[in-house]
Chain A
Amino acid sequence: MASGESTRGERAPLLTMTGLRIEGQADEEWHEIVHGIDVVLHRGEVLGLIGESGAGKSTIGLAAMGYARPGCRLTGGDIVFDGIELRAASRGRQRLLRGARIAYVAQSAAAAFNPAHRLIDQFSEAPVHHRVKSRSAAEADARDLYGRLRLPEPETIGYRYPHQVSGGQLQRAMVAMAMACRPDLIVFDEPTTALDVTTQIEVLAAIKDVVRQFDTAAIYISHDLAVVAQMADRIMVLRHGNLVEEGTADSIVNRPEQDYTQRLLAVRTFRKPAAEPSAEEPLLRIEGISARYRRSARVLESIDLDIGRQRTVAIVGESGSGKSTLARVVTGLLPPEEGRLVFDGAVLAPALARRPRESLRRVQMIHQMPDTALNPRQRMREVVGRPLTFYSGLRGRKRTERVRELLQMVELEPDAFIDRYPGELSGGQKQRMCIARALAAEPDLIICDEVTSALDQLVAERVLQLLQRLQDDLGVSYMFITHDFATVRAISDEIVVMFQGRIVEQGARNEVLEPPHHAYTDLLLSSVPEMKIGWLDRTLARRGQGPGSDKEGPDRSAPPG
């Protein structure tokens, strides 16, 4: 689709939105969330919309269909699709376009498919209703598209119900459904955000293929510039409902003009300096740990690893790899079936309830979602102060002073923040509060469970830098659980790669990141989108040629050791 040989530009654009204004409702008042955006899209062109949360990108994407979600309303501007003004069009007129000429692909396919109907029935619905195809022709077309999108068993998969199909497959089935009427325009709303990287690359490839085959125009919405750079011909960078910068994918990625775009591009460049491996006794030894949840199959299979003092060990893996379970075992929330934990030379009790307060104090945890990790009914004074009282018996003035010190350590102005509730903080500030709460216990080890994945990229970067500075100042060790290789590159000393409950590779950062890789590590690493135009095509081409190209990932029957 990046092929610019078409006749675009000579014809009238497919879609133009001029001076688009949208309002959203909060606390029973309307606020403008999109402030006069202009969008032009030609036939066969893919436009990327990129921005952090609150940029208004999804809202703009839906506006292209003349649709506003409940709690939003279109208040200004023109939306013209192929000569039809959508805002002024009657409901009946809008319905004729939706599904037939403009289609939508949602972020969560699991929620967007009706649980009561089979996939192929939902596929056929739009073409039959819009009288594009007969029922049998639509079903034949569905089977064909399922094949093109490389779904397994394309002849029969459509006869399953949504809950009988995996997440990545469901997402592709939704792309097929959007294609059913061969629309002129498809709006992709973060279609791969909920997926693991190795699944994401397959879905991206599938989307790119069909969009190219049918010369469909698309609006591709994502928070991830590296992904958009693979999919889009042209990119619009959005922030707080305003346009920051617009240009071809190449010019945005390689020659950004605005400071904000440059920062978005630079987001994965922070690196911790490499540290010498130390010979002293590790802070935490995990010895032969196996674990399972009640009545389920084993989720951890004889895990051995060490975490040294003032070191950061990154545990990397996709969903289902067991990395979060490992954190639960270390904290004592899930007593292991076999194996033991040795902390600072002494064996840790397997169950939380049996651990003395002092050993609880020395291991702290920071959670993935700062929104749910802070009690919404407690002021920061109480959130950060409680561990001080609980572990060290600090009260009154002394406690307040210490809370203020801790807030300063996480770079929050004490006077402004000490009496705030979590609802009065931004995402990054909340995560800083969680860090301050962990530090209040003066721990030796902090388990960081995906601490940056709920944050916007720029905010995440600064949180990582803060964590690094705190390690340098205080000498804490981090057990860093993540699925994101950018984070791993940035902060780790050592890397442990997990797959289906086992460790497939572990070692110093540079050893693991540099080739030769273990097969699974290689798949994982090569699936991480890079901020380079054409990365997706090159990677797919390489995989298609290489003998080890295996779409289903590593051999699941015999995990590589």
Chain B
Amino acid sequence: MTHILIMVAQRLALGLLTLFAVSLIIFLGVELLPGDITQAILGQGATPETVAAFRRELKLDLPPHERYIAWLGGIVQGDLGQSLANKREITELMGVRLQNTLFLAFIAAVISIPLALGLGILAALYRNSLYDRAVNVFTLSSISFPEFFVAYILILVFAVHLGWFPSISNIGHELGFWERVYRTIMPALTLTLVVVAHMMRMTRAAIINLLASPYIEMATLKGLPRSRIIVRHALPNALAPIINVVVINLAYLIVGVVIVEVVFVYPGLGQLLIDAVRTRDIPVVQATGLVFAAAYILLNLSADVLSIMTNPRLLHPR
């Protein structure tokens, strides 16, 4: 058991290290720029005074390592700095939006994970059947769709023609839970359609790979019924690959969220990021970028840890 704890601790340390490296990249990205960033942002016409004021505001007059330490220190204490555009605290800007984004991702995950796993496992079990072939064509097409394509089709059908759902998902805290769910359905459905295809394909491949193992043949030759082979012999070994599939797709959800939020004007973190990018509000971009990256790293880390914890070879060392 200690063996596993050590491995998990190693992964956690590695994740932390990666997060640190990512923060360094996000910070240094600004530094490594050719030319002067203030000039680039303020334009050629800026007077020396405005440039100097701007530099002070960004604390560009300090040496880079001091600024980095100050920045990182602030983040650790929950202070992400100020927005350039409206001078508001970034923490305050992000708070509600982060919740909204997590809410959207959560709804999408709740719909898509059971759906994708179920359909993927079925496709693997009934390999080469008509169902499997249809699923293959459907998922191949579906992963080819840009998110905004799916989103606009849904809007065209459900919002414009049928009028079932609003085409703009304006949600706020004053709304009740079910009203929020109702307004989140369209973006969540878009994310679901895109993610389900990926997840199904990966689940199917993982299960098929597993079913080709000699110990599955052995179980067949022991005269066990199919259900028992699946539950008893395939599933315990399928856990690690399936966890992997789920987590990779959750990470994918996080990125996909950016575009979907823009299409539906959903007040989430992705929307904030895009607005900040458009106005070149660098502190906000850095902060949101870091939050997205942290979520991504955290998810991948948990996949690693879970697959260690479900590996019998590691659970029962020699």
Contacts and interface: CB of A to CB of B under 8 A. Distances in A.
Given A114-B233, A164-B316, A99 B215 contact: no
Contact of B214 (A112, A125, A160, A164): A112
Interface string A118-160: 0000000110011000000000000000000000000000001
A94 B220 CA distance: 10
Interface in B162-197: none
Interface string A155-196: 000001101100000000000000000000000000000000
Contacts of A114: 215, 218-219, 233, 236-237
Interface stretch (B87-95, B223-231, B249-257): B223-231
A156 B225 CA distance: 29
A160 B313 CA distance: 11
A111 B313 CA distance: 13
A69 B217 contact: yes
Given A95-B223, A125-B224, A164 B218 contact: no
B226 to A, nearest CB: 9
B221 interface: yes
A226 B150 CA distance: 67
B223 A108 contact: no
Interface in B201-251: 212-215, 217-225, 228, 232-233, 236-237
A104 B233 contact: no
A94 B223 contact: yes
A111 B213 contact: yes
A129 B224 contact: yes
Interface string B299-318: 00000000000001100101
Contacts of B316: 160-161, 163-164
A116 B237 CA distance: 7
B222 A108 contact: no
Contact of A67 (B221, B233, B312): B221
Contacts of B228: 129
A99 B221 contact: yes
Contacts, number: 76
Best-surrounded residue of A65, A69, A70, A116 (most CB of chain B within 10 A): A116
B215 A113 contact: yes
Contacts of A161: 312-313, 316
Interface string B275-318: 00000000000000000000000000000000000001100101
Contacts of B236: 114, 116-117
Contact of A97 (B219, B223, B224, B233): B223
A95 B226 CA distance: 10
Contacts of A164: 316, 318
A104 B233 CA distance: 17
Interface string A99-116: 110011010100111111
A42 to B, nearest CB: 22
Given A115-B312, A115-B313, A129-B228, A96 B223 contact: yes
Contacts of B221: 65, 67, 98-99, 103-104
B215 A130 contact: no
B293 to A, nearest CB: 35
A160 B221 CA distance: 23
A229 B220 CA distance: 30
Contact of B222 (A69, A115, A117, A126): A126
B214 A99 contact: no
A98 B220 CA distance: 8
A112 B223 contact: no
Best-surrounded residue of B215, B217, B223, B237 (most CB of chain A within 10 A): B223
Contacts of A104: 218, 221
Interface in A190-216: none
Contacts of A67: 220-221
Interface residues of A, number: 30
Nearest to B313: A163
A111 B214 contact: yes
Nearest to B237: A116
B218 A112 contact: yes
A69 B216 CA distance: 12
A164 B314 CA distance: 11
Contacts of A100: 223
A163 B213 contact: no
Contacts of A106: 214, 217-218
B199 to A, nearest CB: 23
A96 B222 CA distance: 9
Contacts of B312: 115-117, 161, 163
Interface in B18-46: none
A104 to B, nearest CB: 4
B223 to A, nearest CB: 3
B223 A99 contact: yes
A428 B217 CA distance: 31
Given A115-B312, A116-B236, A98 B217 contact: no
B214 A129 contact: no
Contacts of A96: 223
Contacts of A115: 215, 237, 312-313
A112 B214 CA distance: 5
Nearest to A187: B221
Contact of A163 (B212, B220, B237, B318): B318
A160 B222 CA distance: 21
A95 B233 contact: no
B291 to A, nearest CB: 38
B223 A130 contact: yes
A411 B236 CA distance: 53
Contacts of A160: 316
Contacts of A126: 222-224
Contacts of B214: 106, 108, 111-112
Interface in A74-98: 94-98
Nearest to B316: A161
Nearest to A180: B222
25 contacts: A70-B212, A94-B223, A95-B224, A96-B223, A98-B220, A98-B222, A103-B222, A106-B214, A108-B214, A111-B213, A111-B214, A112-B215, A112-B218, A113-B215, A113-B218, A114-B218, A114-B237, A115-B237, A125-B224, A125-B232, A126-B223, A129-B224, A129-B228, A163-B316, A164-B316
Interface of A: 65, 67, 69-70, 94-100, 103-104, 106, 108, 111-117, 125-126, 129-130, 160-161, 163-164
Given A116-B233, A161-B313, 10 more contacts: A98-B222, A99-B221, A112-B215, A113-B215, A115-B313, A116-B236, A117-B236, A125-B219, A163-B312, A164-B316
The 6 closest A-B pairs by CB, nearest first: A98-B223, A99-B222, A99-B223, A116-B236, A111-B214, A104-B221
